[in-house]
């Protein structure tokens, strides 16, 4: 049984915050000067339970997607016991927040100091690597440890992903054999991992990657104990409606079952985005309007890094009744800093009468939004409130609704 984080002495969600029903509208009525972050613990809890119950293996949370200690506590309370950490600071954070959690250090290029601290001070036993050089580092830094789980990261295609992770890491097919054989000689347990890219829109991505895994295992003729399919599981954004997550899980399960590995081999995943995208949103204020451009008080150096740099489209919702004849029009946003790069092209559809002093909510910022916020140019602070209303989009809500309908039916019968 997993211990509830409160039992571990974790601080409850800050008491300075209040629960606000119909969160966005109520926040706008208070006319806050700075952006207000809305967190929805129930949404993260629902996502965690979904993975714990339905993914046919172990789900480790990829901490980089959102390292909020409150969020870590929610995921832990809902059954996520393992954490994919990719820096020593993330390892320290997880161990300070959840002392009983297991950290796996899944960055393929680490400093020897980080490996040594993780191994000797934080009990980390699982590391990823994609080169012989990194293998040497791990052996040196752990002083020849014999209790390691070492996951060799294969390079796989990001062709189905909205955000590629296909260039930086991963050993090529031609070099995989040598690395797998060498790692097998050092590792207590040998794993193979990959990442198909973030926001992957088709289960075929995992099926194809698993074929690369099969080829690597056959080629190297090694015994493999762990298959880690990485992250990449999609959330819902405007213009991006992914297939149901169960279809991804079924594809992965089928491929895993057909690999030439022993019955005792384990299946792991490292979801980041899909566990926290629905967790938070932000309420922003319009400070100026210039044509179809809105100057707002959050931006590229705040929670909208992806909107600025890779054109990510987040859902937006005006927090007042629009004029009755105002149709939606497409807007772009300028953030609060003095930098031309602080620009979010969108388009973001809002009622045509949106103007200075209006508030709107930008949704689905729980993954790689909140985590990217800086204090550049003096911006970046702001209140956080906890809300129990639904996120603007959800890949899990339909599931819950169906569940509810089913149980209601049972009661009626």
Q: Is 110 in the site for ligand PLP (CB under 6 A)?
A: no
Contact 24, 283 (CB under 8 A): yes
Looking at beta carbons only, is 27 or 371 nearer to ligand PLP? Answer: 371
Q: Is 203 in the site for ligand PLP (CB under 6 A)?
A: no
Q: Is 198 in the site for ligand PLP (CB under 6 A)?
A: yes
How far is it, in rounded angstroms, from Cα 385 to Cα 365? 14
Contact stretch for ligand PLP (CB under 6 A) within 97-105, 226-234, 287-295, 301-309: 226-234
Q: Is 61 in the site for ligand PLP (CB under 6 A)?
A: no
Looking at beta carbons only, is 139 or 201 nearer to ligand PLP? Answer: 201
Contact 337, 376 (CB under 8 A): yes
Binding-site size for ligand PLP (CB under 6 A) equals: 16
How far is it, in rounded angstroms, from Cα 61 to Cα 104? 10
Q: Choose which of 65, 80, 261, 283 interacts with ligand PLP (CB under 6 A).
A: 65
Contact 58, 36 (CB under 8 A): no
Looking at beta carbons only, is 319 or 364 nearer to ligand PLP? Answer: 364
Q: Choose which of 95, 110, 195, 285 interacts with ligand PLP (CB under 6 A).
A: 195
Looking at beta carbons only, is 36 or 72 nearer to ligand PLP? Answer: 72
Q: Choose which of 38, 106, 190, 267 interacts with ligand PLP (CB under 6 A).
A: 106
Contact 43, 278 (CB under 8 A): yes
Q: Choose which of 5, 271, 302, 351 interacts with ligand PLP (CB under 6 A).
A: 271
Q: Is 134 in the site for ligand PLP (CB under 6 A)?
A: no
Active site residues: 338
Contact 86, 107 (CB under 8 A): yes
In terms of DSSP bridges, do strands 280-290 and 293-296 run parallel, antiparallel, or are they unpaired?
antiparallel
Print the binding letters for residues 149-188 with ligand PLP: x by CB under 6 A, - otherwise.
----------------x-----------------------
How far is it, in rounded angstroms, from Cα 192 to Cα 198? 19
CB of 337 to ligand PLP, least distance (A): 26
Q: Is 373 in the site for ligand PLP (CB under 6 A)?
A: no
Contact stretch for ligand PLP (CB under 6 A) within 74-82, 211-219, 264-272, 328-336: 264-272
How far is it, in rounded angstroms, from Cα 279 to Cα 371? 12
How far is it, in rounded angstroms, from Cα 269 to Cα 227? 8
Instruction: Pinpoint the alpha helices (H) of 61-197.
Output: 69-77, 88-97, 112-122, 132-141, 173-186
CB of 348 to ligand PLP, least distance (A): 23
Helix, strand, or coil here: 160?
coil
Tell me whether residue 390 is exposed, middle or buried, using C-beta atoms within 10 angstroms of its C-beta: 0 to 12, 13 to 18, 19 or more: middle
Residue nearest to ligand PLP (CB): 231
Examine residue 80 and say whether the peptide bond preceding it is cis (omega within 30 degrees of 0). no
Looking at beta carbons only, is 279 or 359 nearer to ligand PLP? Answer: 279
How far is it, in rounded angstroms, from Cα 149 to Cα 126? 5
Sites of contact with ligand PLP (CB under 6 A): 62, 65, 84, 106, 165, 195, 198, 230-233, 270-274
């Amino acid at each position: 049984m997993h211990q509830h984080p409160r039992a571990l002495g974790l601080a409850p969600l800050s008491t300075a915050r209040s629960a606000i029903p119909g969160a966005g509208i109520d926040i706008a009525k208070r006319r806050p000067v700075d952006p207000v972050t809305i967190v929805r613990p129930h949404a993260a809890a629902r996502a965690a339970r979904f993975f714990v119950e339905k993914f046919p293996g172990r789900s480790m949370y990829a901490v980089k997607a959102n390292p909020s200690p409150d969020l870590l506590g929610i995921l832990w309370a809902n059954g996520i016991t393992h954490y994919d950490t990719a820096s020593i600071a993330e390892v320290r954070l997880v161990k300070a927040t959840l002392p009983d959690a297991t950290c796996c250090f899944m960055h393929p290029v680490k400093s020897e100091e980080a490996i040594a601290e993780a191994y000797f001070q934080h009990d980390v036993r699982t590391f990823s690597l994609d080169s012989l050089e990194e293998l040497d580092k791990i052996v040196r830094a752990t002083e020849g440890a014999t209790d390691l789980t070492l996951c060799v990261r294969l390079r796989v295609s990001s062709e189905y992903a909205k955000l590629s992770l296909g260039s930086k890491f991963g050993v090529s097919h031609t070099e995989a054999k040598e690395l797998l054989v060498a790692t097998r000689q050092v590792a207590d347990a040998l794993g193979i991992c990959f990442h198909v890219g973030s926001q992957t829109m088709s289960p075929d991505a995992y099926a194809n990657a698993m074929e690369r895994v099969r080829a690597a295992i056959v080629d190297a003729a090694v015994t493999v104990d762990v298959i880690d399919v990485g992250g990449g599981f999609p959330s819902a954004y405007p213009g991006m409606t992914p297939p149901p997550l169960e279809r991804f899980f079924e594809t992965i399960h089928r491929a895993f079952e057909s690999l030439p590995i022993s019955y005792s081999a384990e299946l792991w995943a490292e979801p980041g985005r899909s566990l926290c995208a629905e967790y938070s949103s932000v309420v922003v204020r319009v400070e100026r309007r210039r044509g179809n451009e809105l100057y707002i008080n959050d931006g590229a150096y705040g929670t909208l890094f992806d909107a600025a740099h890779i054109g990510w489209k987040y859902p937006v919702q005006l927090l007042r009744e629009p004029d009755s004849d105002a149709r939606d029009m497409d807007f772009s946003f300028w953030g609060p800093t003095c930098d031309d790069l602080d620009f979010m092209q969108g388009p973001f559809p809002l009622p045509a009468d949106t103007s200075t002093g209006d508030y709107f909510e930008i949704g689905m910022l729980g993954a790689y939004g909140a985590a990217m916020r800086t204090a550049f140019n003096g911006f970046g602070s702001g209140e956080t409130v906890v809300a129990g209303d639904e996120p603007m989009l959800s890949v899990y809500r339909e599931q819950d609704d169906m569940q509810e309908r089913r149980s209601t039916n049972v009661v009626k019968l």
